[in-house]
Homo-oligomer: A and B are copies of this chain.
Amino acid sequence: MAAQATFKSIKSLVPLFDRVLVQRFKAETKTATGIFLPSSATNHPLNEGTVIATGPGAPNKEGQVVPCAVKAGDKVLLPSWGGNSIKVGEDEYYLFKDGEILAKIQE
């Protein structure tokens, strides 16, 4: 279970290095017409999310800071494993390293 944050807004969180703060999409637990879905239909994790903020990038072997490949607002595909989670109010967020993010989602 993710640790509960003491701060009120996720905007307080400023990632360091090449870390990317992501809000995972939530599985719908009821349909558009308000019918609650059984848990069997909603228990697949969603590996997609929206980038909330990124760090400035990590230095490469030459000592130069390499900016992150994604930016705030990007929709991204996440790996099924890894990441650090933090819960702010009722929302759960994840921090991944830039290189762990699999793809951008451009609709």
* B64→A103 contact, CB < 8 A: no
**A59 contacts partner chain B, Cβ-Cβ < 8 Å:** yes
Question: When chains A and B are docked, how far (Å) is the Cα of A6 from the Cα of B70?
Answer: 19
Chain A, 2-38, contact with B by CB distance < 8 Å: what is the 0/1 string? 0111111100111111010100010000000000000
Residues of A bordering B, CB below 8 Å? 1, 3-9, 12-17, 19, 21, 25, 44-48, 55, 59-64, 66, 69-70, 77, 79-80, 84, 86, 95, 99, 101-107
* B7→A103 contact, CB < 8 A: no
A79 is contacted by which of B17, B44, B79, B84 (Cβ under 8 Å)?
Answer: B84
* A47→B104 contact, CB < 8 A: no
* B62→A21 contact, CB < 8 A: no
User: Which B residues are in CB contact (< 8 Å) with A107?
Assistant: 7-9, 12
The 9 A-B residue pairs with the shortest CB-CB distance in the complex, in nearest-first order: A3-B47, A14-B104, A15-B103, A12-B107, A13-B103, A95-B102, A16-B69, A12-B105, A4-B44
